[in-house]
Structure 1
Amino acid sequence: MKEQKLKRGILCLYAVILVQVGMGVYTLWATVNAYISVNKILSENPELNLPSFGYGAISGSIICSVLMIVLTYYVIKDLKQKKTWAWVGALVVLLFSAPSFALPASIIGLISLLDEEVRNDFIADLQKAI
């Protein structure tokens, strides 16, 4: 039963990755559209005298999305090997993903990973390390 709940938590982390990819693509699309629109307005109205829209927002959105996806991938990889840090990392990823479209997967994943059997297994490993 404990293994099944751990697998369910891992599946929820995969769902979170899919949502993160979708959100990253949408963020990139929206940022590029904003970049094009603002620069078009500024070129048509030079009297506005506003600073141009830079590449910082585009690169920032890409970097945040990629970092979260890579972090989640390594958490899943080590959670399959039952490493304690990955269990803590999975909880953090699921909590950070909760206020997004990944809410259902985050809740199911948190319930699965915080189940008493699963939790006690990882906490016992934590206490051994201390």
Structure 2
Amino acid sequence: MITVANRIFVEPDFAEQFEHNFRHRAGNVDGMPGFISFLLLRPTREHDPYVVLTFWESREHFEAWTRSEAFVRGHARSGSLPRAAFRAPNQLEVHEIIQHSGSPIGAGSAAAGDQHASSAAASQASGGTSQADLPPRHAC
């Protein structure tokens, strides 16, 4: 299994439009053979990039996607923002997953924040401790 991280350096003035474009994305990748999941990560510091993170069964599946007609259709609107919207060229990184634990977001949750709030509320109501109460795990 691999991840593909596309780091996109968006100027702050264009962040809202960039996110809007992704909220209304074509979704062509979702049905591709070997595709597992997609995440759009918003930076928490102003000059850090957005990260488009996809998970694939193999590099061959990802490469087949990039050569597909669906890829062309899915990226047809990517030129809708002016060149000035980007501080630097995007950076594409491919990583092989060698270890995995848990899930980046909860199963069936629309967003990690929604799951965190639900877990915390359930924990508080029961008087117990949930994953939401624990500090985040860091890779060593």
TM-score range, shorter chain: under 0.3
Between 1 and 2, higher relative CO (CA 8 Å, sep ≥ 6) is seen in 1
Bigger helix fraction: 1
Bigger strand fraction: 2
Return the index of the structure with the highest Cα Rg.
Answer: 1
